[in-house]
Amino acid sequence: MYLCILSANAQKKWSETLVDGNNIIKNQGGQTLGYSPISGIKILTINGLAFKDLNKNGKLDKYEDWRLPIDIRAKDLASKLSIEQIAGLMLYSSHQSLPARSGGYFAGTYNGKPFKEGETDPSDLTDQQKTFLKDDNLRHVLLTTVKTPEIAAQWNNKLQAFCESVGMGIPANNSTDPRHGTKARAEFDAAAGGEISMWPSSLGMAATFEPALVEKFGQVAATEYRALGITTALSPQVDIATEPRWGRFNGTFGESPLLSAAMAQAYCNGFQTSLGTKEIANGWGLGSVNAMVKHWPGGGAGEAGRDAHYANGKFAVYPGNNFDAHLIPFINGAFKLKGKTMMASAVMPYYTISWNQDKKNGENVANNYNKYIINDLLRTKYAYDGVVCTDWLVTGDHKAMDNFVDGKSWGVESLTIAQRHYKVLMAGVDQFGGNNDAKPVLEAYQMGVKELGEAKMRARMEQSAVRLLRNIFRVGVFENPYLEVASTKKIVGNPTYMKEGYEAQLKSIVLLKNQGNALPIAKTKTVYVPKRFTPASRNFLGMESPASTEYPVNMDLVKKYFNVTDNPNEADFALVFIQNPNATIGYDKEDLKNGGNGYIPISLQYNDYTATDARETSIAGGDPMEKSANRSYKNKVAKTSNITDLKLVLDTKEAMKGKPVIISINTINPMIFSEFEKESSAILLSFGVQDQALLETMAGKSEPSALLPMQMPASMSVVEKQAEDLPYDMECHKDSEGNMYDFGFGMNWKGIIKDMRVTKFK
């Protein structure tokens, strides 16, 4: 026990106030403390300074002493934890919604009843949350939707008070997936804030080719996250997107290893670095958010573009022998920060089996389970000692080939759930994503005791506990995890942050084509905007959306920039808004019913596509639910659900009788332009921006400056012949003006942009 002399005569150097129902203590020249009056916490006064007695033993332990270095505090607390408490630290909750839904994936109850508007307080903890916090000792909570920032702050305070009241008083480390996307139809007003600032997608930020902009985003996002009680970001996603059909392309910084590394570095610097008075030590502090960089060692080489959230996409392949390039955004980016925090504090491996890349043990198991991938490469060769957390549901049972929330125990399906946990631990991983239940972790511990002995297995568990605790200490929540609700309301989505996000949106728009200087367009011109058909759809969680035909843009906004008509004969130009072709996941049960293997092409074109150039035999394959390991889809046909977007362009071209047709495409993947490009006068490409940003560009109030962060293939035949692991290996589309839609291509009002950005990052 770490003992301090209590001095009754020492001058008191702290003061206490009540804020939003919580006690806040200001130490002179020291840390601010916060505690709940209902948690049972007492304050110790040592040499006039205040400290929280988190374990309620009446003494100051090293982990409670905010004057000590974080490593000493983390090791002290880890040594005091029971195996049950360490097992709880190793859990990462399933997705939590505020308030909980009444059913489905985000379900929860309040005193045994579902949430009822007007009766249930949406900031209350659910029954399930109380159970996993107390009984399973879980302290890492994944937050999804929140009703309002104020409710998020209130919920955080209740959550932290609950955590403070049990066990060793370890606070919750709340986290989130990226949450700064845009509401397309929302109008930007320089004087108005919103729920949270809105920025382009990662692919849009990559299109700016400006790491400084991404670092600024990190600083803004971290400030907003901290105001919501969030201390870990499950981002950035830095996989190099070398496979154009990949379903997670949009979350990346494109296909360039160098650009992705620069963006990863900037992103982590922005999120993790506390500035000025917010810094506690080594760049960490009250403004910091842990960055969990993903997905080691890169998931962008899924065979034929299939994604490893599904069993049909479990394999990443390397026909170009380019595995090492996929590590560049990690080892030269996220692990080599220019800021004081030095490296991303957490890493998430991907679901994929990196096919035949285990050079030591020859195992083809998912990266989360692969000792060579985690221990030999990440831990040993690249000396990474931060937290490694599995992706969500990797230890669950595999029951379906095409279910997003299926267990993803790729390559270890025959093991029990407890055996999977043990294999993950022995590979060098610290934490289990999407697991609220400590039982299999405790079973894994007993397996280790049997194989290694209690001392060695205890040491292995403590090693992970130290890493996990270090990330909670760094951000200052052991001292004060409580939020001021009024401050949260003031910070999240404030006008300054909204403006910075909007300006980033403007910088992310790529002008691909501008025949005869069709853009910009004078305000006096009259526009025809055809309505767009959206087919019925079902999202990855099974939620259905009905078919609709409506204007694809906020027409009230359009009227602020141009005159509007519904008659193409009266219009000076047409404005067509479309989405990139909606691809399948590369698997179809109907094909299976008809005697096939279930595999179909993933298409990047609108028209039906027949895969005549696909491989006869897949590179990788094999699953307990399949009879054949050959996943070929050669000569099969893929249909695109939004083929009506192509028809919209062609019909509008005909209706305009030679007058200009401007096409605005919101895209999440590379796509085939040859089907419609020649029918357009100008093309703007965007990556998740507000309608207004596009209209400002079209009207000439903002000049485009972004560049393509990926290649646009000439045809699907080209796509089939490229190597999943290689960047820049496709013949690109050549438009009617003779321009190639290659990596780094973009235009402004003067023509093709030629600057140092392209040569720097290719």
Q: What is the pLDDT of residues 243-270, one digit of tens each?
A: 999 999 999 999 999 999 999 999 999 9
Half-sphere exposure of 569 (CA within 13 A, CB side): 0
Whether the per-residue pLDDT at 197 is higher than 60: the answer is yes
Q: Is the dihedral of CA 283, 484, 173, 248 positive or negative?
A: negative
- Per-residue pLDDT tens digits for 360-385: 999 999 999 999 999 999 999 999 99
Q: How far apart are CA 644 and CA 636, in angstroms?
A: 21
- Evaluate if residue 9 carries a pLDDT over 60: no
- Structural domain boundaries of the chain? 14-68, 78-491, 509-581+642-686+699-762, 585-639
**pLDDT tens for residues 651-680?**
999 999 999 999 999 999 999 999 999 999
Tell me the C-alpha distance between 92 and 366, whole Å. 19
Quickly tell me which residue has 């096409």 as its tokens. Answer: 663
Pick the CATH number of 509-581+642-686+699-762 from 3.50.50.60, 3.40.50.1700, 3.10.50.40, 3.40.50.620: 3.40.50.1700
**How many Å is the Cα radius of gyration of the chain?**
27
Average pLDDT, the chain: 95
CATH class of 78-491: alpha beta
- Residue listed under structure tokens 């679901």: 351
What pTM value is reported for the model?
Answer: 0.95
- Is the pLDDT at 552 greater than 50? The verdict is yes
Kindly give, in sequence order, each residue whose CB lies less than 8 Å from that of residue 464, ignoring residues fewer than 6 positions away: 86, 89, 90, 387, 425, 430, 431
Other C-beta atoms closer than 10 Å to the C-beta of 57 total 13
CB 151 within 8 A of CB 208: no
Burial of 269 from C-beta contacts in 10 A (0-12 / 13-18 / 19+):
buried
Backbone angles phi, psi at 753, to 5 degrees: -80, 130
What is the tens place of the pLDDT at every residue in 516-547? 999 999 889 999 999 998 887 776 666 677 88
Q: Tens digit of pLDDT for each residue in 555-580?
A: 999 999 999 999 999 999 999 999 99
341/283 Cα distance (integer angstroms): 5
As a whole number of Å, the end-to-end CA separation of the chain is 56
pLDDT of residue 537: 72
Is the four-CA dihedral 137, 142, 145, 148 of positive or negative sign? positive
